[in-house]
Chains A and B, each alone.
Chain A
Amino acid sequence: MNTEILGIIVMFTATLALALPFGKYMAKVYGGEKTLLDPVFNPIEKACYKISGINIKKEMNWKEHMVALLTINLVWFLLGMLILMTQQWLPFNPDHNPNMSADLAFNTTISFVVNCNLQHYSGETGVSYLGQMWLMFLQFVSAGTGLAAAAILFKAFREKTTDQLGNFYNFLMKSCTRILLPLSLVVALLLVFNGTPMTFEGKDQIVSLQGDTVNVSTGPAAGFIAIKHVGTNGGGFFGANAAHPFENPNYLTNMVVMFAQLIVPLAMIFAFGYFTGRKKFSRMIFGVMTVGFLLLTLPNINMETNGNPAIAAMGIDDSSGATEGKEIRFGAAATGFWSIVTTVISTGSVNGMHDSTMPLSGMNELLAMMVNAFYGGCGVGLLNFFIFIILAVFISGLMVGRTPEFMGKKIEAREMKIAMIIALLHPFLILVGTALATAFPAQGASTLNNPGFHGFSEILYEYTSSAANNGSGFEGLGDNNLWWNITTGFVLILGRFLPIIGPIAIAGLLANKKYIPESNGTLKTDTATFGLMVFAVIAIIAALSFFPALTLGPIAEYFSM
């Protein structure tokens, strides 16, 4: 078999094999059981809680959880704005990078707070090391926020009837110290061993053979890159992201960071099963997500390895695949695979130019973000998927002649209202954003590199990436201007917090309801049949919402090729 393909299969299987025990471990962490790292972190955490006056024994209901979540996120946002807009005068700035403009700082901070990491700047020239360190902190806590939110959902479905859903700060802290930090440490070490810099020194200089002096940016990159993937953030330390030789030096690191971005979302699915004692339900979720993932990935690998027919028609050998915008050290297959991994999961780091992938590969990358629930980002992937489950439960409940119920709780008008708003939000943000940019071309469309269908795809991609909190760029946009910074900034906020609040609200409401024991007439939600139903709901909603837009972008481009 083709070694490129084999490499991908081995990597994915290995990740999966590790995700199972890791999921069990995560369930233990959120269940408050003793774990390996307790002796190290317990004293530190206690000190933190003592200083800040937080009582983690206090159980919160879903509303208190959301207040805590939003408040702490606001604090991070304000601090971030302050640091980025004054970094020039602050320490750790050996390269003397300037302060960020207000709109760019707004976009950047929001983007890191919401775990998106859309970057309208280049790390080498745009941020000081202090700024980078702060962004790295945000990469931890934003992933932690998503995981903590999912932990609330776990808790809501473990008890029969309750409004005691654990403590937000406890979940957040545990997510960072017991899950993200140890994983990042391992990944960072592997990166350092392979040549990724980890230093506070300024630019290195080398003199080339021709005698030219070349300035080479370095910095505390390895730590940043580790959490960027483990936390499904995706924001690069350097402008070229994971295509940069320091960020992603070789084939091994390429595989390691792909493992890093897959492990937590995968483990989270299994953790849900272990935590609530519904392992079969977890397997159903995993099955649906994996089928969706493969349906997007396999065509991409195929299209990218087959190369561009237009180039082949010119008589140029493209046996190594569609190599435009790709790094030779990774190859077409691994880059095609990555392009879907990074978009189904909300990482958004790129190791090649998505702009240069084949038209329908581009469509799959878009679709991955439009669905945003096949694995998905840290914690939030599961929350997004939960909305689709609620919709599927409702329709299929009716189809078997019973008022719909999920895990023993009746789904009624209130839950449907929330689920529908959240399901609506995603197409709303993407389509309205894109519509505004195309309706006022002087603002948005004029910054495009490409006219026509491809240019339209670039706009669509930018908003899709923002709404999905993905952060990858199709690129080709001159995106650091007032228009892009502000509009995508707002899309980012809405696309982050509403899809967290909605599912948690539904979970909180359901947790409060009376538990109905299962009977023969109850529709089982852990079966393949129900999985099919969920998949159908996802496919129909994505297809129905985005088909016209995709037709005018990648599909038109494909047929015109």
Chain B
Amino acid sequence: MKSNNKNNQKLFTKEIVLESLKQSFIKLHPKLMVKNPIMFLVEICTVVMLLVTINSFFSGTDHLQFSIYNLLITIILFFTLLFANFAEAIAEARGKAQADSLRKTREETPARLADGRTISSAALKKGDIFICEAGDIIATDGEIIEGLATIDESAITGESAPVIRESGGDKSSVTGGTKVLSDKIKVKVTTEPGESFLDKMIALVEGASRQKTPNEIALTILLAGFTLVFIIVTVTLKPFADYANAPITIASFIALFVCLIPTTIGGLLSAIGIAGMDRALRANVITKSGKAVETAGDIDVLLLDKTGTITIGNRKATQFYSANGIDEKQMIRAAVLSSMSDDTPEGKSIIELAGVNPLSYAVNAPRFIRFSAETRSSGIDFEQSRIRKGATDAIKRIVEKAGNIFPEEIEVKVREISGKGGTPLVVSENEKALGVIELQDIVKPGIRERFERLRKMGIKTVMVTGDNPLTAKFIAEKAGVDDFIAEAKPEDKMNYIKKEQSAGRLVAMMGDGTNDAPALAQADVGVAMNSGTQAAKEAGNMVDLDNDPTKLIEVVEIGKQLLMTRGTLTTFSIANDVAKYFAIIPALFITAIPALQSLNIMALSSPQSAILSAVIFNAIIIPFLIPLALKGVAYKPIGASALLRRNLLIYGLGGLIAPFIGIKLIDIIVSLFI
């Protein structure tokens, strides 16, 4: 799996770390900090502490040791800020590095216009037409208006096998940065410069156009609420302490406040969001908004095309059956000749199965009969032969019209094939039935297990197919999908989506054709294939560069991971406060109320060291959790309640206990110095 190789890429490379370090300082600018209210408060506290420290050193009234203590608190707060900025910066840098590597290829690409001029790809405008020949790199996203070419898309998809793109139909779109291997095509530019999907994605990751998702907003409100609670708690503590004759220093106040507000999640929140989009990009999915990734985690119903998703490619010929008294060679020859000009995947698979080059039959002056909806058959006329291939009833009509008998054994075979979910094609020569070709759908290996996994996530899978209900049912059962739409017309998909949505469910679908576009737009998550038409790509809110229809499953997991990472780190952050209280509160009052020594359950060595340890723990937990924020919490489809128990145990109980251990360890080290 090529996408997995990309996932295994190291979290931190040297360049990314250096760039992120630089960004951590740039992001200290209050204008940027204010976007993150929690960290902005920490910044204010840092400034206040800085002033207090300066005053403490130069006023001459404070003991030197106390001034140094103030200075230490200031420095730790400063590092807390840097760590939070670093988290965001590194998430951005990683996304950018990924996007840049895609962008780079085409920035220096010259484009040869139809009128002969050569200009840089950056100068291409929507509607321009350029020409690409074998060996050229396609300058920008566009649509083939003339010609056919084999194209190497490995730069984007990592897939080395070349693909065919041709004008008209659903395979006409080309992506900038890919390479033409053969032939010549005329391409019409479909996007304005800077507005291709990739550009949009880069802008999202870089934060320029990143808006908070509804869920992020709701979480921010929760965190703001907690922050306000702690503002109230710390501010009112001042008169309480004075009343108890236990005055508190400014440094201790600020330390208490910064430790209590949810800085851990506050510092990591935007990194988590960016990393979610980045993970999608690493799975070769370009998302148009962060919201789409989030919504993916909520999907209830998944619409999948049968062809290519559930079954391998198209139907394949699997067997030739000749009628009684007909030589098998004659039957195969007729089958191959009838498929000579048939470039549908079915036609090609017949030739493939026969293993004969049609040209070896060397027929004279052939005339090809194209498939039409009326005759429902196709074939070839040459010399004295009239070979036809088509649906059973169509061929039967031809045979019986000429006064010949349609053999009973063929009828039996046809029914047998249909019953197995296959498609029978009958072949005739000169109005005599020769035999049957069996076409079968091959269900992809492992697809059943993937659907099982989806079911455990609570997602219903629906197979969409043009087959008749009988065949559809057979394949649906074989593949293990929950429901199917047989003989589907484009509007059927649309209606199904609307029906599910009106029942309150969220629907995701994948599509590539222009006639998929309305359904892609209607679906809550519409993933368009990169090989699909421009219209489809515009209508969806994600584009899959690999053209892998099972990608939706990964997208759903990425969405879930995103929410889970936010939830678990919030829980962790808030649970941490309990231990911080037990470190700081006794330290604040112990001098005035020695009895409170009993509350110092961690047996921290001194009030100063207790407060310093809590603040240090509060700061270094952020970089400790950066890898988790970037990778995301692992999603396991074990049912919601079990998942909640698991995460509560790890991040809730863990969040309760970890700081007790962490603060104690830091205290042991700190107490060596003071």
Q: Which of B214, B577, B578 contacts A412 (CB 8 A)?
A: B214
Roughly how many angstroms separate A530 CA and B100 CA in the complex, as a whole number? 44
Rounded to whole Å, the gap between the CB of B559 and the closest CB of chain A is: 7
Given known pairs A395-B571, A408-B504, the reply for A427 and B458 (CB within 8 Å) is no
Q: Which residue of B is nearest A541, CB measured? A: B229
Q: When the two chains form their complex, are residues A555 and B457 in contact, meaning their CB atoms are under 8 A apart?
A: no
Interface segment, one of A173-181, A235-243, A366-374, A431-439: A431-439
Contact, CB under 8 Å: B457 / A394: no
Which of chain B's residues have a CB closer than 8 A to the CB of A16?
none
**Chain B residues with Cβ under 8 A from A432's Cβ?**
232, 236
A555 touches B599 (CB 8 A): yes
Q: Could you mark each residue 143-178 of chain A with 1 if its beta carbon is under 8 Å from any beta carbon of chain B, else 0?
A: 000000000000000000000000000000000000
Q: Which of A402, A428, A438 has the most CB of B within 10 A?
A: A402
Q: Considering residues A416, A529, A548, A560, which has the most beta carbons from chain B within 10 angstroms of its beta carbon?
A: A548
Are the C-beta atoms of A548 and B221 separated by less than 8 Å?
no
Look across to chain A and name the residue whose beta carbon is closest to the beta carbon of B223. A420
Which chain A residues border B219 with CB–CB below 8 Å? 394, 398
Give every chain A residue within 8 A of B641 (Cβ-Cβ). 523-524, 527, 529-530
Stretch among A210-218, A320-328, A510-518 lining the B interface:
A510-518
A78 within 8 Å of B (CB atoms): no
Tell me the count of chain B residues lying within 8 A, CB to CB, of chain A: 75
Q: Contact at A435–B240, with CB atoms within 8 Å?
A: yes
B652 and A536 contact, CB distance less than 8 A: yes
Q: Which residues of A contact B209 (CB under 8 A)?
A: none
Min CB distance A208 to B, Å, is: 45
CB-contact partner of B244 in A394, A395, A453, under 8 A: A453
Q: Mark A529-561, 1 if CB is under 8 A from B, else 0.
A: 110110010001101110111011001100110
Q: Are A520 and B298 in contact (CB under 8 A)?
A: no
Contact of B585 among A417, A420, A547 (CB under 8 A): A547
Instruction: Find out whether the CB atom of A416 lies under 8 angstroms from the CB atom of B457.
Output: no
Q: Does A285 lie at the interface of the complex (its beta carbon under 8 Å from any beta carbon of B)?
A: no
Q: Say whether A399 contacts B643, CB under 8 Å.
A: yes
Cβ of A288 under 8 Å from chain B: no
A484-540: which have CB < 8 Å to B? 514-517, 519-524, 527, 529-530, 532-533, 536, 540
B578 adjacent to A403 (CB under 8 Å): no
Instruction: Say yes or no: is A68 at the interface (Cβ < 8 Å to chain B).
Output: no
Contact B214 A413 (CB under 8 A): yes
Looking at the assembled complex, report how far the CB atom of A514 sits from the nearest CB atom of chain B, in whole angstroms.
5
- A556 is contacted by which of B236, B455, B596 (Cβ under 8 Å)? B596
Residue B237 interfacial (CB < 8 Å): yes
Question: Would you call A309 an interface residue if the criterion is a C-beta within 8 Å of the partner chain's C-beta atoms?
Answer: no
Q: Among A398, A413, A540, A543, which residue has its beta carbon within 8 angstroms of that of B217?
A: A413
CB-CB < 8 A to A408: which residues of B? 504
State whether the Cβ of B207 lies closer than 8 Å to any Cβ in chain A.
no
Q: Is A397 an interface residue (CB 8 A)?
A: yes
Q: Does A347 contact B (CB under 8 A)?
A: no
Known: A398-B566, A400-B564, A544-B229. A520 touches B455 (CB 8 A): yes
A400 with B643: CB separation less than 8 A:
yes
B241 contacts the other chain (CB 8 A):
yes
Given contact pairs A420-B222, A438-B243, A543 touches B596 in the complex (Cβ within 8 A): no
Q: Is the CB of B222 within 8 A of A521?
A: no
Chain A 375-420 residues near chain B, CB threshold 8 A: 391, 394-403, 408, 411-413, 416-417, 420
Given contacts A416-B218, A417-B221, contact A520 B564 (CB under 8 A): no
B589 part of interface (Cβ distance < 8 Å): yes
Say whether A456 faces chain B, with CB atoms less than 8 Å apart.
yes
Q: Are B567 and A398 closer than 8 Å at their CB atoms?
A: yes
Q: A424-B228, A427-B233 are in contact. Are A400 and B240 (CB under 8 A)?
A: no
B233 adjacent to A403 (CB under 8 Å):
no
Residues of A contacting B217 with CB < 8 Å? 413
Write the B226-258 contact mask toward A (1 if CB under 8 angstroms, else 0): 101110110111111111101000000000000
Cβ of B80 within 8 Å of any chain A Cβ, yes or no, is no
Chain B residues, CB < 8 A from A391:
222
A519 touches B235 (CB 8 A): no
- A188 lies within 8 A of chain B by Cβ: no
Bound complex: CA A297 to CA B562 (Å)? 41
Q: How far is the CA of A541 from the CA of B458 in the complex (A)?
A: 32
Q: Which residues of A lie under 8 Å from residue B244 when comparing CB positions?
A: 452-453, 456, 552, 556
> Which residues of B, 600-629, contact A by the 8 Å Cβ criterion?
none
A350 to B505, CA, bound (A): 52
- Is the CB of B406 closer than 8 A to any CB of chain A? no
Instruction: Say yes or no for A441: interface residue by CB 8 A criterion.
Output: yes
Determine how close the nearest CB of chain B comes to the CB of A204; give it in whole angstroms.
Answer: 45
Residues of the B chain whose Cβ atoms lie less than 8 Å from the Cβ of A520? 455-459, 639-640
B643 touches A401 (CB 8 A): yes
A423 at the interface (CB under 8 A from B): yes
A402 touches B505 (CB 8 A): no
Q: Cβ of B260 < 8 Å from any Cβ of A?
A: yes
B228-A519 in contact (CB<8A): no
Contact A523 B240 (CB under 8 A): no
Which residue of chain A is the closest to B219 with respect to CB atoms?
A398
Contact between A516 and B505, CB atoms less than 8 A apart: yes
Known interface pairs A522-B640, A552-B589. Does A416 touch B599 (Cβ–Cβ under 8 Å)? no
A445 at the B interface (CB under 8 A):
yes
Chain A nearest CB: distance from B572 CB in Å?
Answer: 10
- Closest Cβ of chain B to A548, distance in Å, is 5
Taking a contact as CB atoms under 8 Å apart, the answer to whether B647 and A516 are in contact is: no
- Is B152 in contact with chain A by the CB < 8 A criterion? no
Are B218 and A559 in touch, CB under 8 angstroms? no
Tell me if B644 is interfacial: C-beta within 8 Å of chain A: yes
Known: A411-B218, A413-B218, A521-B459. A399 touches B567 (CB 8 A): yes
A400 touches B647 (CB 8 A): yes
CB-CB under 8 A from B599, the residues of chain A are 551, 555, 559
Are A523 and B644 neighbours in the complex by a CB distance under 8 Å? yes
CA distance A439 to B236 in the complex (A): 9
Task: Give every chain A residue within 8 A of B241 (Cβ-Cβ).
Answer: 552
Q: State whether B221 touches A560 (Cβ < 8 A).
A: no
What is the CB-to-nearest-CB distance from A247 to chain B, in angstroms, rounded to a whole number?
A: 35
> Known: A431-B233, A438-B242. Contact between A399 and B648, CB under 8 A?
yes
Partner of B593, one of A431, A524, A556: A556
Q: B457 contacts which of A398, A521, A530, A547 (Cβ < 8 Å)? A: A521
With a cutoff of 8 Å between Cβ atoms, the chain B residues found around residue A514 in the complex are 504
Task: Specify which chain B residues have a CB less than 8 angstroms from the CB of A434 in the assembled complex.
Answer: 236, 240
Distance to closest chain A CB from B214 (angstroms): 6
Complex formed: what's the CA distance from A149 to B595 in Å?
A: 46
Known: A545-B233, A547-B585. Contact between A456 and B560, CB under 8 A? no
When distances are taken between beta carbons in the complex, the residues of chain A under 8 Å from B561 are: 401
The reply on B294 being an interface residue by CB < 8 A is: yes
Known A-B contacts: A401-B563, A412-B214, A519-B300. Give 15 more (CB < 8 A): A398-B564, A399-B567, A412-B218, A427-B229, A431-B232, A456-B243, A517-B504, A520-B458, A520-B639, A529-B644, A529-B648, A540-B575, A551-B589, A552-B244, A559-B599
A-B contact pairs, 26 of them (CB 8 A): A395-B570, A399-B568, A400-B640, A400-B643, A401-B559, A401-B560, A401-B561, A401-B562, A412-B214, A412-B218, A413-B214, A416-B218, A424-B228, A427-B229, A431-B233, A438-B242, A456-B244, A520-B457, A532-B648, A544-B574, A547-B585, A552-B244, A556-B244, A556-B595, A559-B595, A559-B599
- A-B pairs, top 9 by smallest CB distance, nearest first, are A398-B567, A521-B458, A401-B560, A520-B458, A420-B225, A399-B567, A519-B458, A435-B236, A559-B595
Measuring CB to CB, which residues of chain B are less than 8 angstroms from any residue of chain A?
Answer: 214-215, 217-219, 221-222, 224-226, 228-230, 232-233, 235-244, 246, 260, 294, 297-298, 300, 455-460, 503-505, 559-564, 566-568, 570-571, 574-575, 577-578, 581, 585, 589, 593, 595-599, 635, 639-641, 643-645, 647-648, 651-652
Name A residues whose Cβ lies closer than 8 Å to a Cβ of B. 391, 394-403, 408, 411-413, 416-417, 420-421, 423-424, 427-428, 431-432, 434-436, 438-439, 441, 445, 452-453, 456, 514-517, 519-524, 527, 529-530, 532-533, 536, 540-541, 543-545, 547-549, 551-552, 555-556, 559-560
